[in-house]
């Protein structure tokens, strides 16, 4: 398992391809993409409305649906429940395509060689 910064704004395709090739499970930190304002994006809000879930659930479901393990954190008990409730809806192909447009590019991710976080 390798834990990397990952959200719809930072899909980390290169790292994930390496993981897939070497049998490594991808775990996402900062999966809600706070600094990248993922949850405020109109695309995310529109998809959330369509499925009657929160924007946070859309971001987390996007990860789970691709075999990524997201680790969200929250100090709010109602969000703990919602953030774990990811299996009562499914993002369709169009949702996934729309979410692809949020990719800010690999250069936006923090460089783990120079920036350590836990
Ligand atoms: N391995 C590493 O290098 C590394 C680095 C960073 C973090 N981590 C770990 O990864 C986990 C998450 O990290 P993170 O806190 O940076 O990212 P995160 O889980 O993406 O974001 C947490 C923030 O989002 C808010 N939030 C949670 N659920 C929400 C929802 N459904 N809707 C809207 N806002 C929501 C929380 O606020 P409220 O508390 O108000 O809900 C909190 O401010 C933590 O367990 C952390 O320890 C690991």
- How far apart CA 51 and CA 69 sit, in angstroms, is 21
CA dist., res. 112 & res. 89, Å (int):
33
Whether the predicted pLDDT of 60 surpasses 80: yes
CA distance 57 to 63: 10
Q: Whose CA is nearest to atom 30 of ligand 1?
A: 56
Q: Dig out the tokens for 35 from the structure.
A: 């600094």
Q: Is the pLDDT at 101 greater than 80, yes or no?
A: yes
Q: How far away, in angstroms, is 80 Cα from ligand 1 center?
A: 11
Report which DSSP code applies to 10. B
Give the position of tokens 């836990």.
Answer: 118
The band of 115, judged by pLDDT with boundaries at 50, 70 and 90, is confident
Measured in Å, residue 114 CA sits from the centre of ligand 1 at: 21
pLDDT score, position 118:
66
Range 42-61 average pLDDT: 98
């Amino acid at each position: 398992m390798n834990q990397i910064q990952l959200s719809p704004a930072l899909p980390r395709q290169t790292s994930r391809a390496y993981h897939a090739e070497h049998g490594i499970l991808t775990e996402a930190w900062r999966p809600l993409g706070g600094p990248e304002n993922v949850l405020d994006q109109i695309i995310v809000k529109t998809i959330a409305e369509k499925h009657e879930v929160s924007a946070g659930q859309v971001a987390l479901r996007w990860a789970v649906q691709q075999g990524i393990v997201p680790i969200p954190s929250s100090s709010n008990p109602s969000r703990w429940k919602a953030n774990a409730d990811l299996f009562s809806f499914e993002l369709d192909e169009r949702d996934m395509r729309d979410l692809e447009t949020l990719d800010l590019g690999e250069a936006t991710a923090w460089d783990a060689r120079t920036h350590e976080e836990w």
